[in-house]
Structure 1
Amino acid sequence: MRRRIYCLVVLFVLLLGALAARLAVIQFLEGPKYRFLAESQSRATLSGISTRGTIYDRNNRPLTDVTESFFFLIGERKMNEDAENLLRMMEARFIGSDEKYRIYSISVPDREGFKKLCRDYGALAIKSRQRYSENQPAAHIIGYVNGANEPGVCGIEKDFDSVLSAGQRTITVKNDGQGYIIPGTGIRVEGAGREWGVLTTLDLDIQNMAEKALSDQGQSGAVVITHIPSGEILASASTPGYNPYRIDEYISGDGSELLNKATSCMYPSESLFQVVVAAAALENKVISAETSFACNGSLEIAGLRLKCPLGRHEEIQFCDAMAMPCHTVWALVSDKTGVRSILETAQVFGFAEEAVDLLSGQAKGNLPQPEEVLGAGIVSLSSGRGHISITPMQAARMTRIIASEGWDSPLSVIRGTLEGVKGATLLPKPQGRQVISSETARAIGKMMRKAAEITGDDSLAVAGIGSGKWFTGYLPADDPLYGITVLLEEAGAGEKTAAALFYEMARNLYR
């Protein structure tokens, strides 16, 4: 009997020791793992609040994630008609939902509304920043995402999605066994500790100026402002603009708001094509800047009679041709130069390729085949009509070639990236090359200077060309710093012309 009791005691002690050992292992060795699992099961991830990397301008000012906003989490079981009316009065924007909660964003402070949401509907408030502003600068260049942390759909958001999404962080809150958030337990932000983002060449002040000036015209169009020495884009504006939070509304319509008129839409080049014709003629030494032309008021080419709006007038030298609306001079020069030489020069100016480096969604322009503009077609070619169409960004690139004395490289809008522990990585500049001689470029620059003196404010040292819907040029004419290209789809006579808008922005840049 005693032996049995002794055996039971020994067995009990052994079991107790094993239990103690197991508890010690759980407590000291496996404890952190179980605590992590328990805590993970009691935490919920909040979706709908943007945590992507930031996009910056050239002075490291944020273009995204600027507007402070309050995000409210409201339980589905507490939502009713009164709550929805209150949110509507507060101009709350619905972000997303799951089985337990709805998330709303409110950017305009309303203290009484905030109190009522928290008191009557148990709302939980999180202060953060909206991905986009209601009047988002450079919206067409930045692009947008489908949801707060979804992949980019277009623009920089798409082209640099891998960088911007690498900076995403996870926002979690503690919940109870039923999945409801426990008030007062705090919010945890997990993820990238170092900053991720994209550095652009845009200047926020110039971008805002360009967008306001273009918007004030009340019509569709585009403005591009470049830094001539570097080829960097300082501003790119397109109207109509769009609110990144109303994409579904635009898609259900004609979607014109989503078109980037600066890079994706093509227009007849009209008088801007005179730059190409002049370059082809001068480069091939068909004429010189001093060559004189007599106009009898009309000209017949291949059976087509072309009338000059000036009628019969005195001889003019080619160096003055851009400053005078004499169509016959340009038709004669085009006929002497030849279709193939002109079209080859247009390609040299980048009229058949994307104008901007590292930016998707660009149109390449359109040039006719030589056989399409033979004979009488040379008249249409000389005036930049017919089968010739370009984007405003291509016109801006052409303008920079003249201002840079024949040097060309793709325009750029991206300076570099921020990649966590690596920090800032600046991208190499696009490769450049001499595409026309400096002598030819200087001669055309002088022609544009004379044209600008006739067109607008001669107190500004500007070189430019255009009429009606187009105007492109650079300033100061003697030491170019800025290039400005304007396209207005419905421009006519009067104040709302592309030239008037060009000079308005030129004066603003001079200040």
Structure 2
Amino acid sequence: MRNRRIMFIGIAILLIFAGFICRLAQIQLFATTSFSRAHVNLITQSITQRTSQFVINNGRGILLDRTGKVKLNDVEQPALVLFPFLKNRKWPVEKLARIINVPAADMTSAIKRAKEAFVFRGQSLKLTKEQMKQINQLHIVGVQALKVRQPSKEWSDSYVLGTTKENPTAIQKLYPDLLKNGNVTTQTPIGVLGMEKAFDPFLLSKNETKLLYHTSASGEPLFDNSVRVSSKANTEYYPLKVKTTLDTAIQKLAEQAAAKHGLKKGGVVILDAVTSDLLSMVSLPQMDAHHPFANGNQMLKAQYPGSVFKIVTAAAAIQNNLVNDEETFNCNLNPYGTGQGERQLGALNFEDSFAQSCNYTFATLANRLMETDDQTLTRFGKALGLTDKVGWTDDVFRLQNFQQFPDEESNVIWAKGADHHDSKAIAQTAIGQLNVRLTPLSVANMMATISRGGEKQSVRSATEVDYNQPSGVKLTTFPKEGLGDSRLESYTILRLQALLRDVVKDKKGTGHALADASYPVAGKSGTAETDKGHTNEWFAGYFPADDPKYAMVVVNLDHHPGDHKTYEIYHDLVDDLHQLDEARHS
């Protein structure tokens, strides 16, 4: 019995050792380039553990402005790269300090804090060609002067361009074939927000270039102390270039106007009124690089619109022949007609009710409309592009349902299960309250739609993807596309255009503060109570009113009543865009 037990134990031990040997054989011989479900390249990982490296060029695709000349996400700039093992060596730091005109102590202090290779002083250190030549002639191990790809400062609003992060789980799901073929690794950064996320299939890095030092366990460089360059670059065609619709000059104006008036939460959307192409987008608070998902792009989130939604109610009333020029409404009443309203406006006709934003008028008209068709507000919202997402979406190559605005939320007019026959619910919906939520992007597109006579188009953020060639050979294009067949009648659009212009022209109109702007403005204000007891203040419009070039929305979110930054920002931007246009045409 005892001998049997010993035999079983011996066999178990042999099996365990055999398992260890098989596992070692798998690791060392059979699965060195694709280990485990994560397809880890063990050879690469082994080398990585014995190297000190710095990425010169991450090989990621380039985002260009609408001219195709300005790089928005990254630019190559002269830089001084220092490796952390310098802290344990004697090297002529004083000579280097004299060349770049900085205190030697600044460099030694930065190196002591460093855990990996870094660009000294980032983009604030401006190196000349002569300085770079002198630095490299010193032949200091761990010191390199070269052109390094760094984040561009042309576009500071990060939510529009977005950001990249390492996400092994996502890269395995999105790019299994590229991972298997070794074109990417689980450490390859992918886009997680904004345009970086939307165009990631085109921008994804396959051509990273690095500086490498083989190092010992203590971090000291081995062999001949020389630096190696590792690259798989195929610069004939890659990296790809995405030509966006963004205008850097307009973006700077929008950012400056928002900062000047202290906008804390909210933002600006500016579209080309003719094409609905995105020219500028500002979202505040700005993105925190360490917590990029903390706030999100407020211009792509569905927000309470308030009286901006009265445009939909007005369109339905006009097209259904409910507007009687002789009828007046008691605008001293609240929306339900059961008591006094917050503003005492007296008896107003339809046009004056729109200009002065009378709640009672539009609540009354909406109830009349819904008596005969409880889908009226939804149908007219659809005709103005407010029931579907407005960002460009289509199939591109093997990419089905490719979205240029993947973070765009859906609008809401009626919540699921809402009572379309409740008079109070109808009244609240008609004036943009209750369950109504609209993204600022979709509202800006609605204004562009009205400005060009009712033709609905999706919003583009990019027009084409080009190969990395001077001749600009195109890989693909993103053509203009419509947003469904439903649209308003021409007469309805003409009446809406007149109403929107009166909001600014009428001395009692809610947008009269914009009457003296450099371009004539047509638009609609909106004030909505939010869940937090604060208000959202909107102004949405287009200009010049007689020959529209821009559709613009400015919104101040979750602020205390009485704070009118929205109009101040809007006015400044209309004036600034007028001045910019004159300068460009002079």
Fold equivalence (TM over 0.5): yes
Matched, 1:213 2:268: no
Matched, 1:158 2:197: yes
Rounded Cα–Cα distance in structure 2 between residues aligned with 1:135 and 1:87: 28
Return 420-429 or 462-471, whichever deviates more.
420-429
Rounded Cα–Cα distance in structure 2 between residues aligned with 1:350 and 1:92: 57
Rounded Cα–Cα distance in structure 2 between residues aligned with 1:492 and 1:318: 30
Task: Name the counterpart of 2:504.
Answer: 452
Matched, 1:381 2:429: yes
Choose the corresponding residue for 1:222, options 262, 267, 270: 267
Rounded Cα–Cα distance in structure 1 between residues aligned with 2:108 and 2:388: 48
TM-score by length of 2: 0.68
Task: Name the counterpart of 1:109.
Answer: 125
- Name the % identity: 19
Map 1:251-270 → 2, pairs under 5 A:
255-256=294-295, 259-263=296-300, 265-270=301-306
Q: Matched residue of 2:514: which SS? A: coil
Task: Name the counterpart of 1:57.
Answer: 65
Rounded Cα–Cα distance in structure 1 between residues aligned with 2:567 and 2:345: 27
Q: Matched residue of 2:553: which SS? A: strand
- Deviation (angstroms), 1:44: 7.3
Rounded Cα–Cα distance in structure 1 between residues aligned with 2:113 and 2:502: 53
Q: Is the 8 A contact 2:383 2:486 kept in 1?
A: no
Task: Name the counterpart of 1:365.
Answer: 411
Q: Matched residue of 1:305: which SS? A: coil
- Deviation (angstroms), 1:56: 0.4
Choose the corresponding residue for 2:313, options 260, 267, 277: 277
Rounded Cα–Cα distance in structure 1 between residues aligned with 2:571 and 2:308: 17
Q: Is the 8 A contact 2:154 2:248 kept in 1?
A: no
Rounded Cα–Cα distance in structure 2 between residues aligned with 1:186 and 1:335: 75
Q: Matched residue of 2:321: which SS? A: coil
Q: Which amino acid aligns with 2:306?
A: E
Task: Name the counterpart of 2:572.
Answer: 504
- Deviation (angstroms), 1:261: 0.8
Matched, 1:171 2:171: no
CA gap of 1:439–1:163, structure 2 versus 1, over 3 A, is same
Matched, 1:355 2:400: no
Q: Matched residue of 1:255: which SS? A: coil
CA gap of 1:87–1:117, structure 2 versus 1, over 3 A, is farther
Q: Which amino acid aligns with 1:307?
A: Q
Choose the corresponding residue for 1:404, options 435, 447, 452: 452
Choose the corresponding residue for 2:490, options 407, 421, 438: 438
Q: Which whole-Å deviations, capped at 9, do the CAs of 1:344-371 have from their partners, x for residues lacking one?
A: 2223333332221122111112222451
Task: Name the counterpart of 1:305.
Answer: 338
Q: Which amino acid aligns with 1:132?
A: P
Rounded Cα–Cα distance in structure 2 between residues aligned with 1:300 and 1:103: 62
CA gap of 1:131–1:356, structure 2 versus 1, over 3 A, is farther
Rounded Cα–Cα distance in structure 2 between residues aligned with 1:156 and 1:92: 37
Return 166-175 or 339-348, whichever deviates more.
166-175
CA gap of 1:376–1:85, structure 2 versus 1, over 3 A, is farther
Rounded Cα–Cα distance in structure 2 between residues aligned with 1:181 and 1:149: 28
Q: Is the 8 A contact 1:227 1:234 kept in 2?
A: yes
Between the two proteins, the alignment pairs up a number of residues equal to 451
How much is the aligned-residue C-alpha RMSD, in angstroms? Answer: 3.8
- Deviation (angstroms), 1:185: 6.7
Q: Which whole-Å deviations, capped at 9, do the CAs of 1:310-360 have from their partners, x for residues lacking one?
A: 53724x331232211422211111111114201222233333322211221
Q: Is the 8 A contact 2:245 2:279 kept in 1?
A: yes
Q: Matched residue of 1:171: which SS? A: strand
Q: Which amino acid aligns with 1:236?
A: M
Q: Is the 8 A contact 1:399 1:473 kept in 2?
A: yes
Rounded Cα–Cα distance in structure 2 between residues aligned with 1:123 and 1:79: 11
Q: Which whole-Å deviations, capped at 9, do the CAs of 1:237-259 have from their partners, x for residues lacking one?
A: 1111136xxx33x36xx822xx1
Map 1:282-297 → 2, pairs under 5 A:
282-287=318-323, 290=325, 292-295=327-330, 297=332
Q: Matched residue of 1:331: which SS? A: helix
Q: Which amino acid aligns with 1:197?
A: K
Q: Which amino acid aligns with 1:225?
A: I
Map 1:95-244 → 2, pairs under 5 A:
97=116, 102-105=117-120, 106-109=122-125, 122-133=141-152, 136-146=155-165, 150-165=189-204, 168-172=207-211, 180=222, 187=229, 190-194=232-236, 195=238, 196-218=240-262, 219-242=264-287
Q: Which amino acid aligns with 2:520?
A: A
Q: Which amino acid aligns with 1:465?
A: K
- Deviation (angstroms), 1:306: 4.6
Task: Name the counterpart of 2:22.
Answer: none
Rounded Cα–Cα distance in structure 1 between residues aligned with 2:194 and 2:314: 35
Q: Is the 8 A contact 2:164 2:190 kept in 1?
A: yes
TM-score by length of 1: 0.77
Q: Is the 8 A contact 1:467 1:499 kept in 2?
A: no
Matched, 1:466 2:503: no
- Deviation (angstroms), 1:443: 0.7
Choose the corresponding residue for 2:358, options 301, 326, 334: 326
- Deviation (angstroms), 1:88: 8.7
Q: Matched residue of 1:489: which SS? A: strand
Rounded Cα–Cα distance in structure 2 between residues aligned with 1:88 and 1:430: 57
Q: Which amino acid aligns with 1:428?
A: P
Choose the corresponding residue for 2:550, options 476, 482, 485: 482
Q: Is the 8 A contact 1:220 1:238 kept in 2?
A: yes
Q: Which whole-Å deviations, capped at 9, do the CAs of 1:140-195 have from their partners, x for residues lacking one?
A: 12111126951222222122223222563423558699964856777575512234
Q: Is the 8 A contact 2:61 2:203 kept in 1?
A: yes
Rounded Cα–Cα distance in structure 2 between residues aligned with 1:212 and 1:193: 37
Return 5+ residue gaps in structure 2 as ranges: 1-46, 94-103, 167-186, 393-403, 528-536, 580-586
Q: Which amino acid aligns with 1:283?
A: Q
Q: Which amino acid aligns with 1:192?
A: N
Rounded Cα–Cα distance in structure 2 between residues aligned with 1:416 and 1:300: 48
Q: Which amino acid aligns with 1:486?
A: V
Rounded Cα–Cα distance in structure 1 between residues aligned with 2:547 and 2:422: 39
Q: Which amino acid aligns with 2:125?
A: P
Choose the corresponding residue for 1:86, options 106, 112, 127: 106
Q: Which amino acid aligns with 1:417?
A: V
Q: Is the 8 A contact 2:331 2:360 kept in 1?
A: no
Choose the corresponding residue for 1:391, options 425, 439, 461: 439
Q: Matched residue of 2:281: which SS? A: strand
Map 1:65-84 → 2, pairs under 5 A:
65-66=74-75, 68=77, 70-76=79-85, 78-79=87-88
CA gap of 1:368–1:85, structure 2 versus 1, over 3 A, is farther
Q: Which whole-Å deviations, capped at 9, do the CAs of 1:402-460 have from their partners, x for residues lacking one?
A: 11211102111111112346822332212344511122112111111010223223233
Q: Matched residue of 1:66: which SS? A: strand
Rounded Cα–Cα distance in structure 1 between residues aligned with 2:328 and 2:463: 47
CA gap of 1:116–1:87, structure 2 versus 1, over 3 A, is farther
